[in-house]
Structure 1
Amino acid sequence: MISAIILAAGESKRMGQPKMLMPWGKSTVIQTVISVFQAAGVDDILVVTGGARKQVEALIGRSVQTIFNEKFAQGEMLSSVQAGLAAKKHEASAALICLGDQPQVQARTVQRILQEYKENRTPIIVPSYQMHRGHPWLVAREMWGEMLKMRPPETPREFLIRHAKIIRYIEFDSPAILQDIDTPEDYLQSKP
């Protein structure tokens, strides 16, 4: 089983309000991201919450699993990735690391990453657009031990740099893999 770990624990300080709850089309940012993974055929989805925990959990209901990142206020992504991986370490063979504030990600992107993993069991698969790494990226369970042992100020980016020689990059023709929404300007430029 491949799990999607959607990182939604940030405090949205630059946005000024919980961005996961913001409208996106006929839905919200977080619901759109969840829907993309469901449409791509990912059955096991875990949302890592933090700053707006109660609101996010109330919004998504029981449609997916949630876990609370107790270290969310430290403001770094590593603790959310670790919380998600720890919750799935006995269930999943791999995890897609996804940003909760990336509602433009496309189901076909997720499907292509899943296909690459199923065909070749590549331990790390990263989408790329014009030589820039994006999300979601996949990491096989055999690599999780190292990620779970990492400590701040280390970051998931450093993990990827350390394993650059074994990463399978998949080039995409859309910048959606790079686009998240951190500020009101990002939101207004990207909003459908």
Structure 2
Amino acid sequence: MMTTKSIIGAVVLAAGMSRRMGQPKQLLPWGKTTVIGQVVNVLQAAQVAQIVVVTGKSREQVEQTLKNTSAQCVFNPRYETSEMLTSLKVGISRLHDEVQAVLVVLGDQPQIQVSVVQGLIEQYRLGKGVLIVPSYQMRRGHPWLVDRSLWQEILQMDDERESMRNFLNHHAQDIVYYLVDTPSILTDMDTPEDYQQMRPVDERDNE
């Protein structure tokens, strides 16, 4: 039986400009879907209760891509000038009252594994901590999980001077590291070269 504490949401940060990629990286093909579609598929497979995708320049295309999923798309009107912290605030503000913890997920990390997401959620449900971050070979990555008790602090942070890294550094003593055996938590996709290297092997072989 699920408890209130078990209800987990996710904010997917997908409002970036994709300047180095040269095209909207969220919409690049990935298997039978797109990069952002795969991210949402992983979260759905991990049974995340509410998925909020924060969009920017490509909002209409992303919304179209995700129309048959459980994800809710919200728009960050400051996408051109703001950093990820702003999008995180936009996303958190849309989470339902019953959601007690949020996964902070990158929209350009389609290689994240269901097992990692499930592991983070399990650690939270076991009461391990209020801030749970995956770690591979002593390096922290994404997604990470934050209890509702810390959301107000995030919402009050100065977008112009602070970042999500500042938040993590400020709460260094609160972080519970969840050790994983995959480097997938570390890599995101910024350039065409990144995309080619990260694509599923069968897709690369078919070119």
User: TM-score, length-normalised on structure 2?
Assistant: 0.90
Letter in structure 2 aligned against 1:37: L
Where does structure 1 lack aligned partners over 5 or more consecutive residues? none
Aligned residue identity for 1:134? G
Deviation of 1:43 after TM superposition, in Å, equals: 2.6
Choose from 19, 22, 33 the match for 1:27: 33
Moved over 2 A (4+): none
| d(CA) in 1 for partners of 2:190, 2:75 | 21
CA RMSD of aligned residues (A): 1.1
Amino acid at match of 1:139: V
What is the aligned partner in structure 1 of residue 104 from structure 2? 97
The question of 1:163 aligning with 2:177 is answered: no
> Do the aligned partners of 2:50 and 2:95 also contact (CA within 8 Å) in 1?
no
The aligned residue for residue 6 of structure 1 is 12
Tell me what 1:186 maps to: 194
Q: 1:89 to 1:74 in 2, by over 3 A?
A: farther
Aligned to 2:115: 108
From 139, 144, 155, the counterpart of 1:148: 155
**Conserved 8 A contact 1:89-1:141:** no
Q: Which amino acid aligns with 2:26?
A: M
For 1:173, give the aligned amino acid: D
User: Which residue is 1:84 aligned to?
Assistant: 91
Structure number with the higher helix fraction is 1
Residue 121 of structure 1: how far off its partner (Å): 5.5
2:64 to 58, 76, 79: 58
Identity %: 51
Question: 5+ residue gaps in structure 2?
Answer: 1-6, 201-207
Q: C-alpha offsets along residues 80-119 of structure 1, whole Å, 9 cap, x if unaligned? A: 0110111116341110000010000000000000000011
Question: Structure 2 CA distance, aligned partners of 1:162 and 1:54?
Answer: 36
Cα deviation, residue 42, structure 1: 1.1
Deviations 1:27-79 (A, max 9, x none): 11011000111111113111111121011011111521111011111141100
Identify which range, 134-143 or 117-126, moves more after superposition.
Answer: 117-126
Q: How do residues 35-74 of structure 1 correspond to structure 2 at under 5 angstroms?
A: 35-63=41-69, 64-74=71-81
Residues 27 and 89 of structure 1: is their aligned pair in 2 closer, same or farther, counting only changes over 3 Å?
Answer: closer
Higher-Rg structure is: 2
Structure 1 CA distance for aligned equivalents of residues 131 and 42 of structure 2: 21
* Partner Cα separation in structure 1 for residue 111 and residue 58 of structure 2: 21
